[in-house]
């Protein structure tokens, strides 16, 4: 089969590497791809991930049999619907199901309607009403822009003043454009966070191994939120009992309710969970693989990823036995100094060939120039390794990091701890 993966970060590198291992893959393309992805797929840097007509034309012109859409924005914009209308099979939810990520107002009302555990909340479209609500509720409190905001539309406010400032930024100053036309204000929960990704064909749901990402830029969860500075798989907090409880109270009800709403979800659904003292709660849904969680998770997968993808698309996931390797995996992100603020690009990366066997370096923001890799984004590399247990996996990933360098490289030293 000829396959096109849409996207160009570390997650897409891990997906392309897993697909490249499938004996049924003939030609593998990635649009736009990146420097590292070019080692496993033919990249098309001229096609950005949100370019729906560009992706459709490329697929038709290059006899692509199957398109895997990885990022949130083309999914929300209905890229899978348009591909299918053009007669091209595609992996990922339709636009009307991707809304579970693209609108927090939708997802919160959906959870309320179906009794899925989530923080208590109200929604607002008028700033004055939101400000009055904050006054009445007090802090800590959480303010969330309705729409997609590159993972930056959530403010966990410790004071009323901070919450009010967030409302002004999001609703009045339109920091995230129309994504902030409506907001959700919700109660602040506490407890360990766990990510569970699951394959689903709309009826059958198969959770992957659990994971945990680290969103803050610095050690000890300090500094601003990022796209994710590292991840581990599985999460030590996620016991078999919790897994059974989540299946009963969250996973299955979500999939069944989406079908009942006429929004059957086929693809990968991401459950961002908080393990509170009252049980697991949904913090957020995403309609896709997480980044960087995908890097350690796919490192643990022991089944042909293309077989799973096609079973999802064709509605026969129940026939597939999804298997996992034993042990654990960890991914440490090496970022450009300054990220998530301003940072330099174009710096040469050294030592990629020197990493020990068993360490996989997924590229998130790199370009290949004159035979050498250079930085081209905030998150640059995801250094990933397995181990017999979590401590070993983490040690192996950091052993890889030690060999790699570029000017002003920044990484957390506490991935998997705490």
Q: Which residues bind ligand AMP (CB under 6 A)?
A: 119, 142, 144, 151, 154, 156, 186, 188-189, 193, 215, 272, 283-284
* Pairwise CA distance, residues 253 & 247, whole Å: 8
User: What does 201 interact with, of ligand GLY, ligand AMP, none (CB < 5 to 8 A by kind)?
Assistant: none
Angle at 315 between CA 313 and CA 319, to 5 degrees: 110
The footprint of ligand GLY on this chain (CB under 6 A) covers a number of residues equal to 7
User: What does 395 interact with, of ligand GLY, ligand AMP, none (CB < 5 to 8 A by kind)?
Assistant: none
Site string for ligand GLY, 215-244 (x = CB under 6 A): -------------x----------------
Binders of ligand GLY among residues 14 to 53 (CB under 6 A) are none
User: What does 228 interact with, of ligand AMP, ligand GLY, none (CB < 5 to 8 A by kind)?
Assistant: ligand GLY
291 makes contact with ligand GLY (CB under 6 A):
yes
Q: Is residue 359 reached through a cis peptide bond, with omega within 30 degrees of 0 on the bond before it?
A: no
CB closer to ligand GLY, 286 vs 313: 286
Q: Which two tokens stand for residue 261?
A: 């709403």
Return the half-sphere exposure (C-beta side, CA atoms, 13 A cut-off) of residue 316.
Answer: 6
User: What does 19 interact with, of ligand GLY, ligand AMP, none (CB < 5 to 8 A by kind)?
Assistant: none
Angle at 363 between CA 325 and CA 406, to 5 degrees: 125
Angle at 103 between CA 365 and CA 381, to 5 degrees: 15
* Pairwise CA distance, residues 97 & 107, whole Å: 10
Please report where in the chains the tokens 């539309």 appear, as a residue.
153
Alpha-carbon dihedral of residues 243, 312, 12, 79, nearest 10 degrees? -120
Q: Which stretch binds ligand GLY (CB under 6 A): 44-52, 154-162, 283-291, 381-389?
A: 283-291
How do strand 66-69 and strand 183-187 relate by DSSP bridges?
Answer: unpaired
Given a contact cutoff of 8 angstroms between Cβ atoms, the answer to whether 165 and 130 are in contact is: no
- Check residue 365 and give left, alpha or beta (phi > 0: left; psi -120 to 50: alpha): beta
Site string for ligand GLY, 137-156 (x = CB under 6 A): --------------x-----
CB closer to ligand AMP, 59 vs 194: 194
Q: How far is the CB of 36 from ligand GLY (least distance, A)?
A: 19
Q: How far is the CB of 366 from ligand AMP (least distance, A)?
A: 26
Q: Which stretch binds ligand GLY (CB under 6 A): 76-84, 125-133, 257-265, 287-295?
A: 287-295
User: What does 213 interact with, of ligand GLY, ligand AMP, none (CB < 5 to 8 A by kind)?
Assistant: ligand GLY
Q: How far is the CB of 195 from ligand AMP (least distance, A)?
A: 9
Return the half-sphere exposure (C-beta side, CA atoms, 13 A cut-off) of residue 71.
Answer: 24
Give the interface with ligand GLY as residue ranges (CB under 6 A): 151, 213, 228, 286, 290-291, 293
């Amino acid at each position: 089969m000829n396959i096109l993966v849409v996207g160009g970060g570390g997650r897409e590198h891990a997906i392309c590497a897993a697909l490249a291992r499938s004996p049924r893959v003939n030609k593998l393309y990635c649009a736009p791809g990146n420097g590292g992805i070019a080692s496993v797929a033919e990249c098309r840097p001229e096609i950005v991930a949100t370019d729906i007509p560009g992706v459709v034309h490329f697929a038709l012109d290059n006899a692509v049999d199957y398109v895997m859409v990885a990022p949130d924005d083309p999914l929300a914009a209905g890229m899978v619907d348009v591909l299918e209308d053009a007669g091209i099979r595609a992996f990922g939810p339709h636009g009307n199901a991707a809304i579970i990520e693209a609108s927090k107002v939708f997802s919160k009302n959906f959870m309320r309607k179906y009794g899925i555990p989530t923080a208590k909340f109200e929604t607002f479209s008028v700033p004055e009403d939101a400000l009055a609500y904050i006054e009445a509720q007090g802090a800590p409190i959480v303010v969330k822009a309705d729409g997609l905001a590159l993972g930056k539309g959530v403010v966990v406010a410790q004071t009323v003043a901070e919450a009010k400032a967030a409302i002004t930024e999001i609703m009045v100053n339109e920091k995230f454009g129309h994504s902030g036309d409506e907001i959700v204000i919700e109660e602040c929960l506490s407890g360990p966070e766990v990510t569970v990704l699951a394959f689903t064909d709309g009826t059958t749901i198969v959770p992957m191994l659990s994971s945990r990402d680290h969103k803050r830029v610095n050690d000890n969860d300090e500094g601003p939120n990022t796209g994710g500075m590292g991840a581990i798989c599985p999460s030590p907090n996620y016991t078999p009992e919790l897994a059974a409880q989540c299946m009963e109270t969250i996973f299955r009800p979500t999939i069944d309710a989406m079908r009942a709403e006429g929004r059957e979800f086929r693809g990968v659904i991401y459950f961002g969970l908080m393990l509170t003292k009252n049980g697991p709660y949904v913090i957020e849904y995403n309609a896709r693989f997480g980044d960087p969680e995908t890097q350690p998770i796919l490192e643990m997968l022991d089944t042909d990823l293309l077989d799973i993808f096609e079973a999802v698309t064709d509605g026969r996931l129940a026939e597939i036995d999804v298997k996992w390797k034993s042990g654990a995996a960890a991914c440490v992100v090496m970022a450009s100094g300054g990220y998530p603020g301003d940072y330099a690009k174009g710096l040469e990366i050294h030592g990629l060939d020197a990493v020990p066997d068993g360490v996989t370096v997924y590229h998130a923001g790199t370009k290949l120039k004159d035979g050498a890799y250079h930085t081209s984004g905030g998150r640059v590399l995801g250094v990933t390794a397995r181990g017999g247990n979590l401590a070993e996996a983490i040690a192996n990933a950091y052993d890889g990091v030690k060999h790699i360098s570029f000017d002003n490289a920044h990484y957390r030293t506490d991935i998997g701890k705490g």
